[in-house]
C-alpha cells in the first residue's frame, strides 16, 4: 500500500476507442495495480473531488472536451434540459446514471432564455460531474443578461469545477418574437465567445447550422457568422439537428474552405414522436426529407412504429457519419435515453 494521499492512475478502454482515465486514492487500488503503471496526463486535466456511494472520497481526472475528442476515436455525447419539478429532477438523475453506462464523452445541459433555469443548469452539471462522473458542459446565452451577470454565472461555473461551456446568443424571451440584447450585454454569440475566451480558461463550444440559422437571410451569411465565432475563441462546433447528411457534409466542407479547423460535431435527434418532431423542425428551421416525412405520415398514429422508424433512421445517419470520420455525435435526448441507447446499441452490434 502507498502512503496516504498518493494516487494511482487507472485506464480503461472505452467502447468507441480512446481511454477513460481516473485517479483514485492508492488504498483503493487492487492487486498491485498501482505498481509500475504510468500514464501521460495532459495538463488540461483537472482533479475534482466527489463522493462515492458509501461516502468515500475520490478524485477523478477531468479534461476539457477538446482533450476528450483527441483521446477517443469517436466521442458520443448527450444533451439534456433542466426539468421543472423535483420529481422530474430525480428522474433525470436516474436517466444520467443509465447514460453513464453508455460511456459518453460528455453531456450538455441547456439554459432557458433569460436565465430562468440558471440554478438548475449549474446544479445538474455540477452534480453530474461530481456524483456520477460525467464530464459536463453548461449552456450559456446572452438573452436578458448584462456582462456583469454573465461574469457571475461563469465564476459560479468555474467554482463548481465545470471546464466546458457552449456560448449561444439564445432564443427571444417569452412573449417576444425578436431577440433584443440587454443594454449592457451582448448582441451576438461571437461577442460572448470572445468575452469568455479572454477572461476564463473554459473550453468553448459554439452552435453551427448545416441548413443555416432560421433568422439568417441565407446559409453563406450564417456560416460567415460561425467563422467569426470560431475566430473569437471557439474550440469546437456542435450542429443543430438535421436529417439529411448531405446538408452536414456541404456545411462541413464550406467551413473547412473558410479556414475553420476546429472539430465539428454533428447533432442527431432520433425521431420518437411525429407531432413533436414536426413542431421542432418548424421552430428551428431544420427540414425533414420528403421521403422521410411521407413514411412517417403513414405511421404517425402508431407511436411504437414511429419510435422504431426513428431509431432505425438515426442509426443509418450515424453509420454514414461515422464512415465519414466525424470526431463525435451529439444526441438531443429530450431527457429520455431509451431511443438514443437503442441507436448506440445498434451501432455497436453492427460494428
Whether 246 maps to a domain, the answer reads: yes
Question: Do 197 and 48 share a structural domain?
Answer: no
User: In tens digits, what is the pLDDT along the chain, a chain of 351 residues?
Assistant: 444 343 333 344 454 544 444 433 333 333 333 333 333 334 334 433 344 333 433 344 557 999 999 999 999 999 999 999 999 999 999 999 999 999 999 999 998 755 567 899 999 999 999 999 999 999 999 988 899 999 999 999 999 999 999 999 977 666 666 777 778 889 999 999 999 999 999 999 999 999 999 999 999 999 999 999 999 999 999 999 999 999 999 999 999 999 999 999 999 999 999 999 999 898 888 999 999 999 999 999 999 999 999 999 999 999 999 999 999 999 999 998 899 999 999 999 886
pLDDT of residue 116: 65
Domain region containing 322 = 65-349
Task: For Cα atoms 40, 45, 46, give the angle at the middle one, nearest 5 degrees.
Answer: 135
Domain C-terminal end among 35, 62, 89: 62
Verify whether residue 252 is a known catalytic residue: no
Question: Do 121 and 31 share a structural domain?
Answer: no
CATH number at residue 165: 3.20.20.220
In this structure, the dihedral spanned by the alpha carbons of residues 297, 302, 306 and 308, taken in order and rounded to 10 degrees, is -140
Instruction: Kindly name the residue from 79, 191, 211, 252 that is annotated as catalytic.
Output: 79
Alpha-carbon distance 147 to 124, whole Å?
23
Task: Name residue, grid cell 460561425.
Answer: 226
Whether 40 maps to a domain, the answer reads: yes
Alpha-carbon distance 339 to 38, whole Å?
39
Question: Do 193 and 160 share a structural domain?
Answer: yes
Question: Do 158 and 252 share a structural domain?
Answer: yes
Judge if pTM exceeds 0.75.
Answer: yes
Question: Do 150 and 51 share a structural domain?
Answer: no
Whether 2 maps to a domain, the answer reads: no
- Neighbouring C-alpha atoms within 13 Å toward the C-beta of 123: 12
* Cβ contacts of 298 within 8 Å, gap of 6 or more: none
3-class DSSP state for residue 257?
helix
Task: For Cα atoms 168, 159, 107, give the angle at the middle one, nearest 5 degrees.
Answer: 50
Whether 252 maps to a domain, the answer reads: yes
pLDDT of residue 46: 40
Alpha-carbon distance 253 to 245, whole Å?
12
pLDDT of residue 27: 36
* Cβ contacts of 336 within 8 Å, gap of 6 or more: 95, 272
Alpha-carbon distance 99 to 178, whole Å?
36
Q: Could you give phi then psi for residue 106, rounded to 5 degrees?
A: -170, 170
Alpha-carbon distance 113 to 292, whole Å?
32
Domain C-terminal end among 62, 79, 109: 62
pLDDT of residue 183: 84
pLDDT of residue 40: 37
Number of folded domains in the chain? 2
Question: Do 266 and 342 share a structural domain?
Answer: yes
Question: Do 52 and 75 share a structural domain?
Answer: no
Tell me which H or E stretch contains 346.
Answer: helix 338-349
* Cβ contacts of 110 within 8 Å, gap of 6 or more: 79, 80, 81, 82, 117, 121, 139
Amino acid at each position: 500500500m502507498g502512503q496516504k494521499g498518493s494516487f494511482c492512475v487507472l485506464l480503461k478502454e472505452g467502447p468507441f476507442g480512446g481511454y477513460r482515465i481516473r485517479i483514485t486514492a492508492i488504498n483503493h487500488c487492487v492487486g498491485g495495480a498501482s505498481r509500475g503503471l504510468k500514464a501521460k496526463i495532459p495538463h488540461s486535466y483537472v482533479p475534482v473531488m466527489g463522493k462515492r456511494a458509501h461516502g468515500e472520497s475520490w478524485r477523478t481526472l477531468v479534461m476539457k472536451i477538446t482533450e476528450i475528442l483527441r483521446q477517443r476515436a469517436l466521442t458520443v455525447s448527450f444533451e439534456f434540459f433542466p426539468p421543472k419539478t423535483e420529481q422530474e429532477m430525480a428522474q433525470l438523475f436516474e436517466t444520467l446514471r443509465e447514460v453513464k453506462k453508455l460511456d459518453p464523452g460528455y453531456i450538455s445541459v441547456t439554459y432557458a432564455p433569460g436565465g430562468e433555469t440558471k440554478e438548475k443548469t449549474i446544479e445538474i452539471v455540477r452534480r453530474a460531474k461530481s456524483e456520477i462522473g460525467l464530464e459536463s458542459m453548461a449552456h450559456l446565452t446572452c438573452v436578458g443578461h448584462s456582462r456583469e451577470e454573465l461574469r457571475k454565472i461563469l465564476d459560479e461555473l468555474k467554482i463548481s469545477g465545470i471546464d466546458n461551456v457552449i456560448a449561444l446568443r439564445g432564443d427571444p424571451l417569452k412573449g417576444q418574437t425578436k431577440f433584443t440584447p440587454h443594454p449592457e450585454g451582448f448582441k451576438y454569440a461571437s461577442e460572448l465567445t470572445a468575452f469568455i475566451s479572454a477572461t476564463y480558461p473554459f473550453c468553448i463550444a459554439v452552435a453551427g447550422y448545416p441548413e443555416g440559422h432560421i433568422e439568417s437571410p441565407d446559409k453563406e451569411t450564417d456560416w460567415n457568422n460561425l467563422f467569426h465565432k470560431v475566430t473569437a475563441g471557439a474550440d469546437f462546433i456542435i450542429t443543430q439537428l438535421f436529417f439529411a447528411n448531405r446538408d452536414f457534409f456541404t456545411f462541413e466542407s464550406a467551413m473547412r474552405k473558410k479556414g475553420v479547423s476546429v472539430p465539428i460535431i454533428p447533432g442527431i435527434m432520433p425521431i420518437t414522436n411525429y407531432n413533436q418532431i414536426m413542431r421542432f423542425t418548424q421552430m428551428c428551421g431544420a427540414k425533414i426529407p420528403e421521403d422521410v416525412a411521407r413514411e412517417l405520415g403513414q405511421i404517425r398514429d402508431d407511436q411504437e412504429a414511429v419510435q422504431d422508424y426513428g431509431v432505425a433512421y438515426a442509426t443509418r445517419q450515424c453509420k454514414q457519419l461515422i464512415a465519414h470520420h466525424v470526431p463525435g455525435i451529439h444526441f438531443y435526448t429530450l431527457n429520455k435515453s431509451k431511443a438514443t441507447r437503442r441507436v448506440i446499441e445498434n451501432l455497436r452490434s453492427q460494428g
